[in-house]
Amino acid sequence: MKFSIQSRNDSQSNELMGLAKNYLQDFGLILDELEPDIVISIGGDGTLLHAFHNHVKRLDKVAFVGIHTGHLGFYADWKPSELEKLVLCIAKNQYRVVEYPLLEVNVCNNSETTTYLALNEATIKSPSVTLVMDVFLNDRHFERFRGDGLCISTPSGSTAYNKALGGAIIHPTLRAIQITEMASINNRVFRTIGSSLVLPDHHTCTLKPVRTQEFTMTVDHIQLKHDELESIIFRVAKERVRFARFRPFPFWERVHDSFISNE
Ligand code: NAP
């Protein structure tokens, strides 16, 4: 089996990376940065986002697992002290693969479409003035959004930026995407729904600019550069992300341990 390791690049994560490489190679596993079967991310959830995007072209062939060198993460749920146990499980192939839904983002301009995949979310904001966007659900006009921006997230990303914006936490077995507002303008003249919307996997959300304005767009930690924009179409992607699971750690337990208490 071939493996690669993504480190957050702090001293603890790099030290652990060195140990993991030695252990895994002692068990006959081969280090292959380009075409690994398993990617071990050492750092935090943010590190796993980087690992995901480094291997986004071969998601059907790779499984991810995360060790947290800071606080417990959603993607990074192994402790550094469990490294030897984890290496043994990998070497003996004692894991199952769970798949989580992803968000597909299609940026359309002059009949050209660029497609991205997000593990957590995509955001669109206007850097200086109010963002004004027409929102279509399944090609029907739903609302004219005015506000700071919109966040479209995956179920596993619902605990990240989406949660900070007041969105719901969605179990990652649900194939859905969630649209959450950032400070919408609501008064007697302008109106948006005000609640987060959860779309199933056969629905689409399309955003169309109403006027010429500057946008900033992100896909996870990546800032996109698109000067002009006709529309952006969001849907549940046909691709999925695969996580190697070595033991049960139910999602709601991770939510509890991350946000309520881990005692
Ligand atoms: P980052 O420092 O890598 O991430 C920001 C924080 O979000 C970190 O504490 C990270 O956890 C946590 N996080 C990432 N994915 C998560 C998930 N699925 N569930 C719960 N927490 C998660 O910042 P970055 O390099 O800009 O990375 C982009 C990510 O940051 C985005 O995908 C977005 O979700 C998140 N973000 C959050 C806010 C907010 O909460 N207000 C604002 C902007 C961006 P670790 O410490 O374990 O890495």
pLDDT digits (tens), the chain, 263 positions: 999 999 999 999 999 999 999 999 999 999 999 999 999 999 999 999 999 999 999 999 999 999 999 999 999 989 999 999 999 999 998 999 999 999 999 999 988 999 999 999 999 999 889 999 999 999 999 999 999 999 999 999 999 999 999 999 999 999 999 999 999 999 999 999 999 999 999 999 999 999 888 899 999 999 998 878 999 999 999 999 999 999 889 999 999 999 999 87
DSSP codes joined into one string, the chain: -EEEEEE--SHHHHHHHHHHHHHHHHTT-EE-SSS-SEEEEEE-HHHHHHHHHHTGGGGGG-EEEEEESSS--SSEEE-GGGHHHHHHHHHTT--EEEEEEEEEEEEEETTEEEEEEESSEEEEE-SSS-EEEEEEETTEEEEEEEEEEEEEE-SGGGGTHHHHTTPPP--TTS-EEEEEEEEE--SSS-----S-EEEETT--EEEEESS----EEEETTEEE--S--SEEEEEEEEEEEEEEESS---HHHHHHHHHT---
Question: What does CATH list as the number for 101-238?
Answer: 2.60.200.30
Q: Which residues surround ligand 1 with Cβ inside 6 Å?
A: 44-46, 49, 70, 73-74, 76, 120-121, 156-157, 159-161, 164, 220-221
Which of 45, 64, 103, 262 most suits a substitution to test ligand 1, by most atoms within 8 Å of the C-beta? 45
| Structural domain boundaries in the chain | 2-95+246-259, 101-238
Catalytic residue list: 45
232 Cα to the center of ligand 1, angstroms: 23
pTM: 0.97
Question: What does CATH list as the number for 2-95+246-259?
Answer: 3.40.50.10330
Which of 12, 13, 49 most suits a substitution to test ligand 1, by most atoms within 8 Å of the C-beta? 49
